Amino acid sequence: MSRFAAPIAEQIWDMKYRLKDEEGHPLDLTVEDTWRRIARAMAAVETDPEAWEDRFYAALEDFRFLPAGRITAGAGTNRDVTLFNCFVMGTIPDSMGGIFEMLKEAALTMQQGGGIGYDFSTIRPRGAPVAGVAADASGPLSFMDVWDAMCRTIMSAGSRRGAMMGCMRCDHPDIEDFIAAKSDPARLRNFNLSILVTDAFMQAVKDDAPWELVFDGKVYHTVPARDLWNRIMKATYDYAEPGVIFIDRINRMNNLAYCETIAATNPCGEQPLPPYGACLLGSINLARLVRDPFTDDARLDEEELTELVRTAVRLMDNVVDVSKFPLPQQQEEARNKRRIGLGVTGLADALLMLRLRYGGDEAVAQTEEWLHRIARAAYLASVDLAKDKGAFPLFDAEKYLASGNMQHMDEDVREAIRKHGIRNALLTSIAPTGTISLYAGNVSSGIEPVFAYTYTRKVLQKDGSRTEEEVVDYAVRLWREKFGDGELPDYFVNAQTLTPADHVRMQAAAQKWVDSSISKTINCPEDISFDDFKDVYLMAWETGCKGCTTYRPNDVTGSVLSVSEKSDAAPGESPKLTPADGGEVVYMSEPLDRPQELEGATYKLKWPDSEHAIYITINDIVINGHRRPFEVFINSKNMEHFAWTVALTRMISAVFRRGGDVSFVVEELKAVFDPRGGAWMQGKYIPSILAAIGGVIEKHMIAIGFLEGEGMGLKSDPQAQVVNTDAPRGRACPSCGQYDMRMVEGCMTCGSCGYSKCG
């Protein structure tokens, strides 16, 4: 029997985590092979590797412990990738040479698949004098644009999708520009943005006091604190960014406050880290540990939970020694402090199986109790590791026990640490688990409520036909197996029916026993008033949260692109297509077979510095009455162009045949610049010959109706009317094309394929 609880789980495993050779042939024949590969790799550093391999395998079996995606995909593969999810880069010096050195380090980290966070507050504000060059500074936002372009370039080179967090202090002189940055939908697309909010600022907001914007001891502006807070809130209300990080609370509650200062987080916010800090992630699947679900005897198996936590801590500690690191500073930081981020997933499903309503008083109390038990087990497991392998190198018993979360830790745990030390400075975090939750059978993600109990996923088959499969939440599936398809009880609530206060209460309950932070999205109804929306953030501050991310669906955050076909072209002309009913982008389960005949067009491109023209042929396929690009051929008599034109032909055609919103190909090509210089073509500066090819493909996509106009591809998130529905749908997923993008754990995530903006 298959271990997978749902077809989507097996599909996620095959796409994301299954080890394959360079030609795509599976090396992991079953998911058991994947678990064995991870267990063996993590046990390799033990003195008795065979015994620990079996224990690690038992923890992984049946999706009970879920290492984060980079561990699951990379462990035991001998590939040049890091197993760490999260990095905060070094402090950016306020000099041109230092800034670009940091850019290089960021590129090297992202090349190995690491998500990165930065504090851009250290760069002088726009307009500040630059000594020695008789010029004014361009400000941190201009350099963030450079980082954004770097991330896009790394992705274009074939690396895993990059994810970045950009932070700025609430007292930086450019904070107002930072707040408004995402009002331009084409800017900083590869960044999540968060503001580092201090205790002093929050007090000034409460007191309606003035607030000074300062850099290097100089006051640049003074603004009303409450006005600045309202600007932050309005941007978040309209664009879902920036988020808010309560940075003083983070530093005050840090177990390592005696030896580090934190000024940024990883891309999803659950890991506040010092310069060059790194952390790895893993989750206990609570939904798998519930016994006798939906009965009076329903309970979480607490003994199994404790033992599972102990094994998971040891496995994750071994990752510190096994993993590669992009930079030596990251390796040193990781091994000096041995941070790990053990969290949970399936919390909402576990509560449902205990017949508890998410956000209700009983669910809040139960959540706090479970997280307390996990924290105790994790800390005691790390003490046992210290007995066996030694404490983390920067451990100082008295300073450690007087810091952060340790001040309210149970006394027996404190005494054990005082006596034996502890292997890992910080142990708990609740990370985004969107993809691994699908892989585990569509359990609820992290500590989020269930987003949708069921939805229909369309899959396009190789013959052009479409099939539909129902994707069912894990707890709902168990309910149906036990009680049939009747109406669900009242305690089955979801993200659409909960109040924002329900979300905040759950986040605050979990935060009490999480020594790092929590990646969570507080979903707000579209019609929530601005004043009520602001209160969500104040409630998060007052209840002890370390940060807050909200999502309110609206015309900006929920824009889509639909495509359709209607040709009225004259013979020999490119087809001119206008929107028609029924256009939608669908996921292709496998690349489509090429029909015998395709319609297309050939374009001649004459680059000014090239002796020979380039000819670009784009052929289209018609699926369910709608035309979309299917393949590209790029040819030139110039033999210097041969290798890269063939490579581009193959790569773009492979992308087109997978389906989805492939307009990103246009935007990626148009963004490529040639350091030798571009050229003026038809009165417009084109930064490279590749950008010119991107422009030709865009022209064709517009002609066939796949795009609505120039610059209206994936990059700019155009708004368009969705046909055959009375209500607007959200964004189409750029990976699979399904209209199932949602804000989960601080990141836009696809419920159908697990694609995440955050990597």
Phi, psi values for residue 497, rounded to 5°: -105, -10
pTM: 0.79
Give Cβ neighbours of residue 95 (< 8 Å, ≥ 6 apart): none
Instruction: Please list the residues that pair with 454 across neighbouring strands.
Output: 472
Residue 725: its pLDDT value, please?
34
Residues 581 and 723: beta-carbon distance below 8 Å: yes
Residue 23: its pLDDT value, please?
83
User: Which residue is catalytic, options 53, 270, 333, 708?
Assistant: 270
Residue 735: its pLDDT value, please?
58
State the sign of the Cα–Cα–Cα–Cα dihedral 132, 136, 140, 141: negative
C-alpha–C-alpha distance, residues 567 and 707, integer Å: 14
Q: Tell me whether residue 268 is one of the annotated catalytic residues.
A: yes
State the sign of the Cα–Cα–Cα–Cα dihedral 49, 55, 61, 63: negative
> 247: which 2 tokens?
């940075």
Phi, psi values for residue 284, rounded to 5°: -85, 130
93-264 CATH choice from 3.20.70.20, 3.40.50.150, 3.30.460.20, 1.10.357.10: 3.20.70.20
Instruction: Identify the CA nearest to 350 among candidates 299, 283, 297, 281.
Output: 299
Task: Name the stretches of the chain with pLDDT < 70.
Answer: 1, 155-162, 458-466, 555-594, 624-625, 658, 675, 712-740, 745-746, 751-755, 757-759
> 293: which 2 tokens?
């679900």
Residues 656 and 632: beta-carbon distance below 8 Å: yes
User: Which residue is catalytic, options 190, 266, 405, 424?
Assistant: 266
Residue 105: its pLDDT value, please?
94
Residue 489: its pLDDT value, please?
95
The H helix count followed by the E strand count for the chain is 23, 30
Q: Tell me whether residue 332 is one of the annotated catalytic residues.
A: no
C-alpha–C-alpha distance, residues 747 and 351, integer Å: 24
Instruction: Identify the CA nearest to 658 among candidates 562, 733, 592.
Output: 592
Could you give the count of Cα atoms lying within 13 Å of 458 in the half-sphere of its Cβ? 17
State the sign of the Cα–Cα–Cα–Cα dihedral 286, 291, 296, 299: negative
Size of the chain in residues: 759
Instruction: Identify the CA nearest to 38 among candidates 11, 18, 10, 20.
Output: 18
Residue 714: its pLDDT value, please?
55
Which residue carries 């149970």 as its tokens?
410
Residue 466: its pLDDT value, please?
65
Query: 1-85+280-523, what's its fold?
Result: Anaerobic Ribonucleotide-triphosphate Reductase Large Chain (3.20.70)
Q: Tell me whether residue 494 is one of the annotated catalytic residues.
A: no
Radius of gyration, CA atoms only, the chain: 26
Give Cβ neighbours of residue 37 (< 8 Å, ≥ 6 apart): 19, 28, 75, 76, 77
User: Which residue is catalytic, options 86, 268, 524, 733?
Assistant: 268
Residues 546 and 272: beta-carbon distance below 8 Å: yes
Location of each CATH 3.20.70.20 domain in the chain: 1-85+280-523, 93-264
Residue 1: its pLDDT value, please?
60
Cα dihedral value 510, 512, 513, 516, nearest 10: 90
Residue 403: its pLDDT value, please?
93
Residue 717: its pLDDT value, please?
31
Helix axes 689-703, 642-656, angle to 10 degrees: 30
